[in-house]
């Protein structure tokens, strides 16, 4: 396996964890003493507006080429998406950021190595989550 393939699988594995969060029914903040179901399907994650927002953020960040990506700003903006996603699922804003904290750097690396992943949402999903 190439390093790129390993990184893609690592990013896909990390993002796969995001899908079960959509299955949470309780919109209240996360309660550490409560057990929740972590089952869910990847299609729900793919259809989620927060994933689309991450794609749009990535496209915008790379608009002037990979050499001009403000990685600090990209991470801040991605974390804002993750916080909103966490609140929307009931997981909690900070818990979601902690859960997905490595994703922004992985997305930047993948898109830098293969700009075609930004050509369409389907390409983005395939590169980040795996072929559909």
Evaluate if residue 132 carries a pLDDT over 90.
no
Range of the domain at 56: 3-23+39-129
Query: Looking at the domain assignment, is residue 31 inside a domain?
Result: no
Query: Looking at the domain assignment, is residue 30 inside a domain?
Result: no
108 neighbors 74 (Cβ within 8 angstroms): yes
Query: Looking at the domain assignment, is residue 110 inside a domain?
Result: yes
Whole-number pLDDT of residue 13: 42
Whole-number pLDDT of residue 84: 96
Our count of domains for the chain comes to 1
Query: Looking at the domain assignment, is residue 34 inside a domain?
Result: no
Residues with Cβ within 8 Å of 103's Cβ and at least 6 positions away in sequence, in order, are 11, 14, 15, 54, 78, 82
Query: Looking at the domain assignment, is residue 29 inside a domain?
Result: no
* Mean pLDDT of the chain, nearest integer: 79
pLDDT tens string 62-102: 999 999 999 999 999 999 999 999 999 898 999 999 999 99
- Alpha carbon 77 to its chain centroid, in Å, reads 12
User: Which of 47, 70, 75, 67 is closest to 115 using CA atoms?
Assistant: 67
Query: Looking at the domain assignment, is residue 32 inside a domain?
Result: no
Query: Looking at the domain assignment, is residue 17 inside a domain?
Result: yes
User: Which of 117, 110, 99 is closest to 19 using CA atoms?
Assistant: 99
| Whole-model pTM over 0.75 | no
Query: Looking at the domain assignment, is residue 43 inside a domain?
Result: yes
């Amino acid at each position: 396996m190439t390093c790129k393939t390993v990184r893609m699988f690592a990013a896909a594995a990390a993002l796969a964890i995001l899908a079960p969060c959509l299955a949470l029914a309780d919109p209240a903040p996360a309660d550490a003493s409560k057990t929740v179901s972590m089952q869910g399907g990847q299609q729900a994650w793919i259809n989620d507006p927060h994933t689309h927002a991450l794609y749009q953020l990535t496209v915008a960040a790379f608009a002037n080429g990979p050499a001009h990506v403000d990685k600090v700003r990209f991470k801040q903006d991605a974390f804002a998406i993750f916080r909103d996603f966490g609140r929307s699922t009931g997981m909690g804003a900070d818990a979601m950021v902690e859960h997905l904290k490595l994703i922004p750097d992985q997305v930047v690396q993948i898109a830098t190595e293969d700009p075609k992943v930004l050509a369409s949402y389907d390409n983005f999903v395939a590169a980040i989550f795996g072929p559909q």
